[in-house]
A = this chain, B = another copy of it.
Amino acid sequence: MRIVVTGGAGFIGSNLVDYLLQRGHDVVAFDNFSTGRREFLETARRSPAFSCVEGDTLDPPALVRAFTGADFVFHLAANADVRHGTEQPRKDLEQNTLATFNVLEAMRAAGVRRLAFSSTGSIYGEPNVFPTPEDAPFPVQTSMYGASKLAGEGLITAYCEGFGVQAYIFRFVSLLGERYSHGHVFDFFRSLRRNPGELRVLGNGQQRKSYLYVQDCLDAMLLAIERSDEPVNIFNLGTDEYCKVVESIGWITAHLGISPALTYTGGERGWIGDNPFILLDCRRIRALGWQPRLSIQEGVVRTLEYLQANLWLQNAPR
């Protein structure tokens, strides 16, 4: 297949690009390199089946050109920053909601019928049901990020009904692994390198969070696309575990061999829209035969090893 990956130079996108190339596909990475990194495409560039388009999801003609001749689009380009939503609400609207509309319209113009979309467990807001299944009670949004991804899902499913698009919607927990370049492990690692004696934690550290190793996520997405063939296919992707923020701090400091003093900003939530408990019900994807290879703890350690081997990321523009 000829596959376009929007956000193809990002953390998840670039891993996906390599994964698809290894499986013999022609792959186009579409990225505006605002947070994507050229270094992440170094492996891909060695393949003749790879090409890269520098373009923006807010530029519809660029999308149409990139999509022309493609069989499948993975739409991963997004503002993935949950924490700063209220400081710049327009950013989630534009980069997530409008961008997804542009992707759908470009697919229509270019005649591409199949799409995978990186949605999020944040879309459940603060649910009452744990683990939270895909058909959880109608959620109430608590973050601009969740709201923008909900809007994206709504558009995509309406296009499935209206224009015969086939969609795979994946609601991720937070991902970990190689090329991880933002999120709590990144922030803690950076802070501890600067000052190994102290670590400031947003909230009370008791937030219960779920994580998934990026390669496990890629396995799950490709398996779903292979084995599920509904017009609309929606899957939670996570492990069956969660960890408290203080637990992951314990793994991080143990791995680094340090014992910083911990200070807490306090409260159940580290920021507006921070969800104190995320645990997704992943029986739907497990029923297709998938299971994650790494536990959360193993994923955290793998991520730290990557960050230690790639200190250039600490100083790269973000």
- Contacts from A to B (Cβ < 8 Å): 85-86, 89-90, 93, 97-98, 101, 104-105, 125, 134-144, 146-148, 150-151, 153-155, 157-159, 161-163, 232, 234, 272-273
A163 to B, closest residue via Cβ? B86
B147 in contact with A155 (CB, 8 Å): yes
Q: Which one, B98, B136, B146, B159, contacts A154 given CB within 8 A?
A: B146
Q: A138-B138, A158-B273, A162-B273 are in contact. List 14 more A-B contacts (CB 8 A).
A: A85-B158, A85-B162, A89-B101, A89-B159, A89-B162, A93-B98, A93-B101, A97-B97, A141-B155, A141-B161, A143-B161, A150-B154, A161-B273, A162-B272
Q: Which residues of B contact A89 (CB under 8 A)?
A: 101, 104-105, 158-159, 162
- A137 touching B140 in the complex, CB below 8 Å, given contacts A85-B158, A272-B162: no
A-B pairs with beta carbons under 8 Å apart, 16 shown = A89-B101, A89-B104, A93-B155, A97-B97, A137-B137, A137-B138, A140-B232, A140-B234, A141-B155, A143-B158, A144-B162, A147-B151, A147-B154, A150-B154, A151-B151, A151-B155
Question: Assembly of this chain: how many copies?
Answer: 2
- The majority secondary structure among interface residues of chain A is helix
- A157 touching B138 in the complex, CB below 8 Å, given contacts A85-B162, A162-B85, A162-B273: no
